[in-house]
Every structure is written in structure tokens, then in C-alpha cells.
């Protein structure tokens, strides 16, 4: 989670919402890491999780990330949760909960839907305080 938090800090420095993600392979090695880039890329899908998934699948030359784990600083949104399921990620560790935009424990709860074909193990609250502090500071500075 430390690497995901570092990616979140870097995203904030670029003026992006401070969310970072890291994908770790079955062997424990980091396959990909990313921070949000929606503003820079002018792409509403350029969330940290999506970028990390794309980079990890590219690195592995595979469409699935079986046995891989995702560490992300904020509860993934519904779009990212669905991508996590499609990628067959084994475990999701996330920091802060997102009651407004989350898709795992809030909102549509993607992994609980009968149409969800893969349900990763989910571990919330990892690095929650620091992740939440980064987000609060970012939005406080913009108001």
C-alpha cells in the first residue's frame, strides 16, 4: 500500500485526484503501478486501477491477472470493480471507503451481483487514514 500511496501523492502533484494503484503478481513482484490520469489524458476511464490493470496485462501479455493482487488507495468505483472482476484479480486491498462513488461495499456492490462472474477477496481499510487524509487535503485546497 505504501507504493499505492506514493502514486496517489504523485497524482495530486499533477493536479489529479490522489488515487494510486499497484498490482502485485503471484510471485510478490510489482507488475504495474499508476496514479489517476483522467485530467492529463482527458479520459474519464484513466483511473489508477484501470491504468494499472492495462499495464499489468500488457506486461504479462495476458488478458487475465489470475493470482495477482491489487492495492488501491480508495474503494474502486463501479467501473473499476467490474474491470477487476473481468481481469480475475485474486485480492483487492483498499484504503479509504467511498460511500458516494464506491462500487464494492457501497453503491452497486458489483461483486455481490448475480451477474458478476468473478469475486475477488476484498480487504478494506489498509492505509485508510493516510489515503483519506490525501483526499481530504486535495479537495480542501480546491474549495
Query: Mean pLDDT across the chain, nearest whole number?
Result: 97
- For residue 85, name the pLDDT band (cuts at 50, 70, 90): very high
49 an active-site residue? yes
Give the whole-angstrom CA distance, residue 80 versus residue 100: 15
* E strand residue ranges, the chain: 20-24, 30-35, 69-74, 91-96, 121-123
The torsion defined by the Cα of 32, 59, 48 and 100, in degrees rounded to 10, comes to -110
Rounded Cα gap, residues 111 and 40, in angstroms: 30
Q: Please say if the pLDDT value at position 126 is more than 80.
A: yes
CA distances 10 to 13, 42, 64, 127, 132, Å, are 5, 18, 27, 17, 15
At 141, is the pLDDT very low, low, confident or very high (cuts 50, 70, 90)? Answer: confident
Determine what percent of the chain is predicted with pLDDT higher than 70: 100
> Which pTM value belongs to this model?
0.96
Please name the residues in contact with 113: beta carbons below 8 A apart, sequence gap of 6 or more: none
Q: What is the CA 127 to chain-centroid distance, rounded?
A: 13
Residue 87's H or E segment, with its range, is helix 78-87
pLDDT of residue 30: 98
Read off the pLDDT band of 82 (50, 70, 90). Answer: very high
79: CB partners within 8 A, 6+ apart: 45, 47, 50, 103
Q: Of the listed 13, 49, 75, 121, which one is catalytic?
A: 49
Helix (H) or strand (E) holding 99: none
The Cα–Cα gap between 115 and 129 comes to 33
Amino acid at each position: 500500500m505504501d507504493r499505492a500511496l506514493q502514486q496517489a501523492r504523485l497524482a495530486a502533484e499533477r493536479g489529479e485526484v490522489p488515487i494510486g494503484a499497484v498490482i502485485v503478481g503471484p510471485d510478490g513482484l510489482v507488475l504495474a503501478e499508476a496514479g489517476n490520469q483522467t485530467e492529463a489524458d482527458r479520459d474519464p476511464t484513466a483511473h489508477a486501477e484501470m491504468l494499472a490493470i492495462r499495464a499489468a496485462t500488457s506486461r504479462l501479455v495476458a488478458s487475465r491477472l489470475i493470482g495477482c493482487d491489487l492495492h488501491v488507495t480508495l474503494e474502486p468505483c463501479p467501473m473499476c470493480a467490474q474491470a477487476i472482476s473481468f481481469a480475475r484479480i485474486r485480492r483487492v486491498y483498499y484504503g479509504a471507503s467511498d460511500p458516494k462513488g464506491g462500487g464494492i461495499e457501497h453503491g452497486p456492490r458489483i461483486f455481490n451481483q448475480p451477474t458478476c462472474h468473478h469475486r475477488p477477496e476484498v480487504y478494506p481499510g489498509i492505509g485508510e487514514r493516510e489515503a483519506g487524509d490525501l483526499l481530504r487535503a486535495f479537495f480542501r485546497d480546491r474549495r
